Amino acid sequence: MQRTATFLWHLVPTATLAIALALVSPDILRAQDRATTTETISARQIVISLTERRLHLLEEGRPPRSFPVAIGRPGVAIPLGDSRVLRKRRNPTWHPTANQRRENPALPASVPPGPSNPLGKFALDLGWTAIAIHGTNEPDSVGRRASGGCFRMLPADIAALFEMVPVGTPVRVVSGPAALPSPQPAVAVTAAVSSLPIPASPIPAPPPKVASQKAASLPLPILPDPRCATAGAPLRRMICTVPDLAALDGRARALHQRHLAALPAERRDAAAYALLQEERRFDDRITARCWVRRGMEEDPAVAAAAEACLRDALSVRLEEAKRR
């Protein structure tokens, strides 16, 4: 009897621990896990602007980072609102949706990882069905309305984003410009600079760049658009044939070429590609804002409205080129 009592006494701590663990609700543990995860990802958020065709990564304590994206082509529904990153896939397999297979019966049931995979090497699956942020095997499409509803990124950009964002990161898609946090005021920088020791002798000013100043003072040439010879879209024909529109467009092109010529050779190819993407986005913007139905450009009222819209858009573009 005494040995039985001793055995039961040794079981008391174990039984107490088991009862204590049983009384801890799994919901409490899951809530704690969620709180930890939320704390980890709350410092990051992805905002995608359909108007800008850019993805912005917002991180607490860091300036926003921005990347160009391709969005759904005309006629394709694009999700709006809030979602989050549900899954991360490296070297994903692409499975065409049922709608895509109906539109193009020649599509395979799936495409394995490789150079012909439309998802590229990385994919971030979102909460919307069959919608992801992913790479592409068609980098020229980035910055345009070209996708089947997903958000395509350049290979280097999606590789960087894939490493920066965890599963659970909030994602918001907005139709207008993204509301980004304002930059930090320059007061702190000024104070820091003013606290630096003043050198004993003044730093000599750099010699004036006479050649650069002379080039900047010369009147801008008008560089014609090489597409004018074969332009078929009404808006592009207007830009090519209306003298003041052609002048605005040609001066912006001349500034772009001047900018490229001033760059080191190792940076020129990347800058030329960026300008090409920018020109494509500009064409998409004027198509959306200054739209003219084909065949209606001969109507004086329609032509006048389109020309005024194009004049505003080209003037803004020229000012942006001057600030480059």
CA–CA distance, 235 with 230 (Å, rounded to integer)? 13
| Residue 249 contacts residue 239 (beta carbons within 8 Å) | yes
CA atoms within 13 A on the CB side of 132: 27
**CA dihedral of 151, 157, 159, 161, whole degrees rounded to 10:** -70
Q: Kindly indicate the confidence band of residue 280, based on its pLDDT and cuts at 50, 70 and 90.
A: confident
Q: What is the pLDDT of residue 219?
A: 67
Q: Which of helix, strand or coil describes residue 184? A: coil
CA–CA distance, 278 with 231 (Å, rounded to integer)? 19
Q: Kindly indicate the confidence band of residue 7, based on its pLDDT and cuts at 50, 70 and 90.
A: very low
Domains identified in the chain and CATH numbers: 44-174 (2.40.440.10), 219-323 (no CATH)
Q: What is the pLDDT of residue 75?
A: 84
Residue 298 is which amino acid? Answer: E
Helix and strand element counts for the chain (H, E): 10, 10
Range name among 136-145, 170-179, 202-211, 227-236 with the lowest pLDDT average:
202-211
Q: Which of helix, strand or coil describes residue 57? A: strand
The alpha carbon of residue 132 and the mean position of all alpha carbons in its chain are separated, in whole angstroms, by 13
The catalytic position among 10, 95, 150, 228 is 150
The catalytic position among 10, 56, 95, 134 is 134
Q: What is the pLDDT of residue 67?
A: 92
The full DSSP string for 209-252 is -HHHHHHHHSPPP----GGGGG--SHHHHHHHHSHHHHHHHHHH
Mean pLDDT of the chain: 77
Range name among 7-11, 79-83, 173-177, 280-284 with the lowest pLDDT average:
7-11
Q: Kindly indicate the confidence band of residue 212, based on its pLDDT and cuts at 50, 70 and 90.
A: very low
**Tokens representing residue 105 in the block:** 């019966």
Q: Kindly indicate the confidence band of residue 182, based on its pLDDT and cuts at 50, 70 and 90.
A: low
Active-site residue flag, 256: no
pTM comes to 0.48
Active-site residue flag, 150: yes
CA–CA distance, 50 with 134 (Å, rounded to integer)? 16
Q: At what angle do helices 234-241 and 265-289 cross, to 10 degrees?
A: 110
Locus of tokens 């500034």: 255
Locus of tokens 């024909």: 237
Q: What is the pLDDT of residue 55?
A: 94
CA–CA distance, 72 with 149 (Å, rounded to integer)? 4
